[in-house]
Amino acid sequence: MARPRTPGGRARETNLRLAAEYPGSADDLCALDHTGPFQLLAATILSAQTTDERVNMVTPELFAHYPDAPALASADPTELEDIIHSTGFFRAKARNLIGMAQGVVASFGGEVPSRREDLVTLAGVGRKTANVVRSVAFGLPGLPVDTHVTRLSQRLGLTTETDPVKIELALNKLIPERDHGAFSLRLILHGRRICIARSPRCGDCSLADFCPSAFKAASADQVVRPAKGKIAVKGQKKSVPA
């Protein structure tokens, strides 16, 4: 096969190869345990600055106490904080969860909306979280951009943009709408397992034969602000595609 030499060609080949490596729909690929849009939205809010595994340890108790938006909307903040304490930033997250649920009840009849424009009106919900919910829970176009998507889209030469919204819009033009959510999650999985921030495993990468950064990415994009006489190296954030 001829090596793809344009962003569009690399995007198409990346989409094809990663789909074979990480098969399934966006819902299949999502690491957050959930049933339905409400649970996914709450879990995604909780996932900020923590791991999927930690969130999945907390959500069974959370949803047992608050199975739907009306129940969460009337939650006692202290009791909710106790349940989600181990996810970190628990006070802010509790406020956002209650505020989100109150917004869902007041503005959307207790059902999580599917439109991005509606989702971002809810407490604790930005564009990335809205895209997670749209693509995973509703099967609609939505391409969440996190640190992994940012890193891989630049290393693969899909875009030179650094702003998450601009990266999303650039990738949207290169990937079919039906694949937006799954493509994002596959980049995230590949970023965690292979295209690691500090030490990319180019020798194990299925994209290395056409990746412009193969075998040179770590030295090209990882130097950040020095601290105490040492070179600080950007590591992998704990937060998910949410």
**Where in the sequence numbering do the catalytic residues fall?**
128, 146
What is the token pair recorded at 233?
A: 């190296």
- The CB density around residue 33, as the number of other CB atoms within 10 Å, is 15
DSSP state of 40: H
State the Cα–Cα distance between residues 29 and 52, nearest whole angstrom: 12
Q: Which residues contact 158 (CB under 8 A, 6 or more apart)?
A: 7, 10, 11, 14, 170, 171, 174
* Whether the Cβ atoms of residue 83 and residue 93 lie closer than 8 Å to each other: no
Q: Which residues contact 6 (CB under 8 A, 6 or more apart)?
A: none
Tally of CA atoms within 13 A in the half-sphere of 112 that contains its CB: 27
Our measurement of the distance from residue 109's CA atom to the centroid of its chain's CA atoms, rounded to an integer in Å, reads 27
DSSP state of 178: G
What is the token pair recorded at 68?
A: 């739907």
